[in-house]
Every structure is written in C-alpha cells, then in structure tokens.
Structure 1
Amino acid sequence: MFNRNAKGEGAVPSSNINIIGNGTTINGDIDCDGDIRIDGQVNGLVSTKAKIVVGPEGEIVGDLICNSADILGKVTGIIKVEDLLFLKGNALIKGDIYTAHFEMEPTAKFNGRCYMEPAEAPIDNKENKNGRSRVTEVQEETV
C-alpha cells in the first residue's frame, strides 16, 4: 500500500484513493483527481475525474460530478456521470441524473429525471436567478 519515495525517505501512498469515513461530516466542496469513497456525510459539491462510491451509510447533499459512480447510500442533488452510474442496494437519489450509461437494482429508489447526455448537465456551484441553489430546488421538487 505504501512505497518509499525515490530518495528512500518516508512512505508515500501508491494509489490515489480518498475515503470519507462513517461519522465524518464535511461542509464544503470536494475536488480530487482520484477515486473517492464516501461513508460519511458531505454537504457540498463532490467532483472527481475518476470514480465515486457512496457507501450504504454515505450521504451527499449537493451535486456530484465524476467519470463513474456506484451509489448505495443517499444523494440529494444533480448527478453528472460521464460513463456508468450504478444504483445498488438501498440507494436513494433525489435529483436529476445526467449520464451516458445507467444501471439500477430493483431495491434502489430514484426520484428525478434522467438525461442520457452528461455533457448537458447544468451543474455549477452558483445560485440561480431566483437566488436559490439548485440543490434546494431539487429537495423541494422531490418532497
């Protein structure tokens, strides 16, 4: 899991995997290049160029942008996945999905619209012209 750097000093991670553990809450945006697993709670935008896994206890209240995603927990917000979005187990999605490929197990729940054109996703971190965030609107629409 850890390798010595070129000078033989200290240990450096051999992979770029980020983990938000159960019991951890992050209020703010996350932007990373590697895979990320969320078993805690994130209130904000989660963005990566790789894969996102939301564990069974994980929850995101905010938009999600990634290359691929496996979701077993809860997401309230707009989801933009360039390749495959897979909703597993007791996943609960409240918001619109923009993805190229979509797979959903029978036990997962999805309340929103699905667009099979990820490039058209209207994700940004700004408020709309009404002064309300898109996540707030998604929450109100699905209640």
Structure 2
Amino acid sequence: MFSSERKKPKLQTIMETSTQQNIIAQGTKIVGDIESQGPFRIDGTVEGNVKTSGKIVVGKSGYIKGTLQGENADFEGEFSGKLILSGTLSLKATANIEGEVHINKLAVEPGATFNATCSMKGNVKSLTNESAKAQSVQSK
C-alpha cells in the first residue's frame, strides 16, 4: 500500500544533518561542551568548549568563553580563552579577542581588539593533537 514511498537511507540522513548550520540565538546561554561536524552561528553566550570541523561565525552579540577548535572563524563578537583553527581567523571591527590563539592565517579589520598571544603555524591540526595529549597528561 505504501510501497511507492522510498525512505532515505540512514547514512544519507546523518550526512545531511551534520552539514547543516547550528545556531545559538541571541539571549541563549549554554554552559558546557559542544561538539559538531557542522558549522556554527553563535549570537548567544557559550561558556565551555566548542569543537567543530566546520566554520564558526560569532555575531555582534555572540560571546564564547572557553576553548574553540575549528577550521575557520569569523568574529564580530567576543571571545575569551583558547582558540585553535586550522584555517583563517577573520576579525571584524567590532570583534574582541582575548587569550591564546593558534591559527594558520589572520585577517583583522581596523577597530578590532586583539589582546592575545598568537601562534601562526602552517599545520595547526598537529597542534590540536598535541594540545589534547597535553591536557590528558595534566588531568592525570
């Protein structure tokens, strides 16, 4: 009776949802760690660790306090903590970055605040693995 309808394979459904953008809206506060394969748009507040293989966009009202790991990031809002990117960090005029930054490339518009120790390496992915090893040694 319903044989004419075809269901999507589960693997395809998982692939589609992992590439959709995750949005943390203005007025939302998340305390804890977040991990995703898809890109992020953050207009709210995140206190904790954010890890993604996608792009991170932090809007003017966005604030992240903790560790952020990803590929590329565009900031209009604020960040405080440790930032690890395998690609480019782009800071708009309203951005405010404080802490420790490990990136491949940096683009800064006039007016942005960048108070951080910055390490620019060609291969930041290996740095991410080293950081994870160092954290596991420190926690023991």
* TM-score bin (small chain): 0.7 to 0.9
- Out of 34-43 and 14-23, give the one that drifted further: 14-23
Establish whether residue 73 from structure 1 lines up as the match of residue 77 from structure 2: yes
Give the C-alpha shift of residue 120 in structure 1: 2.6
Instruction: From 28, 31, 40, give the equivalent of 1:27.
Output: 31
Unaligned runs of 5+ residues in structure 1 are: 132-143
Partner deviation per Cα, 1:88-117 (whole Å, 9 max, x = no partner): 121001111111111111111011111012
Partner deviation per Cα, 1:41-65 (whole Å, 9 max, x = no partner): 0000011001000100000010110
Question: How many residues get paired?
Answer: 123
Say whether the 8 Å CA contact 1:63–1:77 is kept in structure 2: yes
Instruction: From 93, 96, 114, give the equivalent of 1:92.
Output: 96
Q: Give the TM-score of the pair, scaled to structure 2.
A: 0.77
Instruction: From 43, 54, 58, give the equivalent of 1:54.
Output: 58
Alignment of 1:3-42 (within 5 A): 6-7=6-7, 15-42=19-46
Could you tell me how far apart the structure 2 residues matched to 1:20 and 1:77 are?
A: 19
Unaligned runs of 5+ residues in structure 2 are: none
Could you tell me how far apart the structure 2 residues matched to 1:93 and 1:128 are?
A: 28
Could you tell me how far apart the structure 1 residues matched to 2:67 and 2:6 are?
A: 38
Percent identity of equivalent pairs: 37
Could you tell me how far apart the structure 2 residues matched to 1:57 and 1:128 are?
A: 36
- The structure that is helix-richer by fraction is 2
Q: Give the TM-score of the pair, scaled to structure 1.
A: 0.76
What is residue 141 of structure 1 aligned with on the other side? none
Aligned-partner SS, 1:63: strand
What is residue 107 of structure 2 aligned with on the other side? 103
What is residue 120 of structure 1 aligned with on the other side? 127
Aligned-partner SS, 1:120: helix
